[in-house]
Amino acid sequence: MKVAFVYPKKGGIFPRMPVNLSITPPLGIMYLAAVCRENKIDVSLIDLTFDRTWAAYEKRLKEQKPDVVGFTALSPFYDDVLTAVKITRKTAPNAKIIIGGPHATAQPLEVIKNDMIDIVVVGEAEQTIVPLLNALQNKTDLKEVKGIVFKRDGQVIQTEKPEYINLENLPFPAREMLPTAKKYFRQIPLFPSIPPVGFIIASRGCPFNCSFCQPMLREIFGNKVRFRSPQSVLQELDELVEKYHIKSLYFIDDNMTVNKKWLYEICDGIEKRNYGLIIGVQGKADTLTPEMAERFKRINCRYMSFGVESGNQRILDEIMGKHLTIAQIENAFKICEQNNILTCASLMIGSPGDTKETIMDTVKLLERIRPNFIDLHYTAPTPGSKMFNEVEFDDSHDDRWSAGAIKLDSITPEELTDLFFAIQLRYRQVKKRPPFNFMWDYFWGTMRYGYNFLSLSAQYAYFCLDNSVLVYRLLGKWVFSLKGKH
Ligand code: B12
Ligand code: SF4
């Protein structure tokens, strides 16, 4: 039996841009492929991040002729998943179609309603995938397979959830099976780094309870955070350095800073190895201490990304359930600045209860914390989350992830879009610019590791424009109207 796992986001995060910025490899299906390979299953990975057309996917399917095709589904690109499913039905009509990932976990009963989809896998799938594929091959009863939803005789059947796996028993993600792996290594993500960049996930789960995210993440990874042993994480790091010659390392864990003892053991191992990597991590602002930042500095951790979300305390408390104070956010950014760690603030605008004033609070916070980067999004709660169930959506809007999807009392979709761009522009003025040595590393790394000309020019143009006075002149309307308001 031939199995293909597909990451079906055609064109990556920015399908209209000629190059991809800030992307990481699809570790979920790479873990599944590694487990299948261990069990002697004929498996391949198809990753549409770098494909511009659906014809490319069709061609891959025709070449590979899989009997089973499994797709990762994230809610924002579920439309792409459905397009890929349609193409699969047409091109490989007898293939079984399986959907997994965050969206499938959040809405399994909705997803299974689609006639073209055979099986939905709920949550973490390394323990489910082999029994499921065996059952399909041997035509045994799917009811015996834990963690799935399927249809039989017009009825939907959901089986019980399996135990969460021991992460120590997992193989490393099958990086060498991904035909596009090298392309990922060559991309420069939001974090300032020298390519090739390696990506690792060292823990699974998150102990927090943000209203726009949970219970989806708990449904995937369980109620308790599971930490891989520092030894296993460091072994994977060794492999990344020896096999892929990485120069930078990014931990994609939701919160690298929640378990100090564990984190310090990993830091010790990295320090001892002295690979000279540039390191980036994500953390929750209230969990960063000066002592931790000091440790980060010693391992050359140059970048931290925080979920700041809003600069208004009421929105953070009552709407998002973030359990985070503005003072804690300010403190974390100050600690990073003192330790020369570049910062990224991830932000959301257009949350229920947001007004122009609360959004201005976010702008004012940016002026105080002066992040090096921002990652700005329209608020888009995950299906099934507390916020999702409480907000009113505009049904005429076909995209839940852009301005106007959530109905707001005091801001129109047009005003929200204006505010979105205004913050992007205003932030260019208030941000702390990355130091010169970062620009040099960036340029040097790019030259050394073989960027294509287009990618280099586009990214270089981005950095130039980023700081350009011309941009403010051309688009100054928003910037100055914002200035006048506080
Ligand atoms: C790294 C990451 C990214 C990377 C790239 C993701 C990638 N290529 O996979 C970047 C930075 C690009 C990114 C971007 C975005 N991301 Co993101 N990202 C993550 C993060 C932090 C880790 C993903 C990961 O590798 N996890 C580890 C692996 C092991 O887990 P996994 O991928 O979930 O896979 C397991 C199961 O889900 C399942 N599974 C997955 N696929 C399949 C397929 C089959 C067939 C089966 C059977 C099972 C299965 O089995 C896997 C192994 O156990 C997660 C949060 C998290 N902790 O997972 C958010 C997360 C996936 N992202 C999320 C979002 C919303 C986004 C964005 C839309 C944000 C935005 N508004 O722009 C973008 C869009 C992505 C895109 N490609 O277009 C949400 C998804 C929510 C949802 N309802 O879908 C998450 C869950 C964050 C959150 N807490 O809300 N992201
Ligand atoms: S948004 Fe981030 S911090 Fe909040 S529950 Fe989800 S993963 Fe955890």
| pLDDT tens sequence across 104-115 | 999 999 999 999
pLDDT at residue 52 is higher than 90: no
What is the topology classification, in CATH, of domain 2-158?
Rossmann fold (3.40.50)
The average confidence (pLDDT) of the chain is: 87
Q: pLDDT band for position 482 (50/70/90)?
A: very low
Ligand 1 pocket, mutate which of 6, 10, 13, 78 (most atoms under 8 A from CB): 13
pLDDT at residue 335 is higher than 60: yes
Q: pLDDT band for position 479 (50/70/90)?
A: very low
pLDDT of amino acid 483: 40
Architecture of the 188-485 domain:
Alpha-Beta Horseshoe (3.80)
| pLDDT tens sequence across 163-217 | 999 999 999 999 999 877 777 766 555 666 777 889 999 999 999 999 999 999 9
pLDDT at residue 8 is higher than 80: yes
Ligand 1 pocket, mutate which of 252, 306, 309, 386 (most atoms under 8 A from CB): 252
Lowest-pLDDT range of 64-68, 185-189, 237-241, 270-274: 185-189
Cβ contact 112:151 at 8 Å: yes
475 Cβ inside 6 Å of ligand 1? no
Angle at 158 between CA 157 and CA 161, to 5 degrees: 160
Percentage, residues of the chain above pLDDT 70: 84
Provide the residue ranges of all domains of the chain, joining segments of one domain with +. 2-158, 188-485
Report the nearest-CA residue for atom 4 of ligand 1.
24
77 Cβ inside 6 Å of ligand 1? yes
131 Cβ inside 6 Å of ligand 1? no
Ligand 1: centre distance to CA 383 (Å): 14
pLDDT at residue 377 is higher than 70: yes
pLDDT of amino acid 485: 38
208 Cβ inside 6 Å of ligand 2? yes
Q: Which atom of ligand 1 is nearest to the CA of 201?
A: 27
Q: What is the mean pLDDT of residues 296-317?
A: 96
Ligand 1: centre distance to CA 478 (Å): 33
Q: pLDDT band for position 474 (50/70/90)?
A: low
Lowest-pLDDT range of 77-86, 99-108, 387-396, 441-450: 441-450
pTM for the model: 0.92
From the list 149, 172, 173, 175, the residue with the least C-alpha distance to 160 is 149
Q: What is the mean pLDDT of residues 48-71?
A: 92
Q: What is the mean pLDDT of residues 409-433?
A: 79
Q: Which residues face 344 on adjacent strands?
A: 305, 373
Ligand 1: centre distance to CA 102 (Å): 7
| Residues 116-140: b if buried by 16+ CB within 10 A, e if exposed | ebbbbbbbbbbbbbbbbbebbeeee
Cβ neighbours of residue 460 closer than 8 Å, sequence gap 6 or more: 443
Report the nearest-CA residue for atom 13 of ligand 1.
23
| pLDDT tens sequence across 89-139 | 999 999 999 999 999 999 999 999 999 999 999 999 999 999 999 999 999
206 Cβ inside 6 Å of ligand 2? yes
Closest ligand, as measured to the CA of 379: 1
Kind of pairing between the strands at 203-204 and 226-227: antiparallel
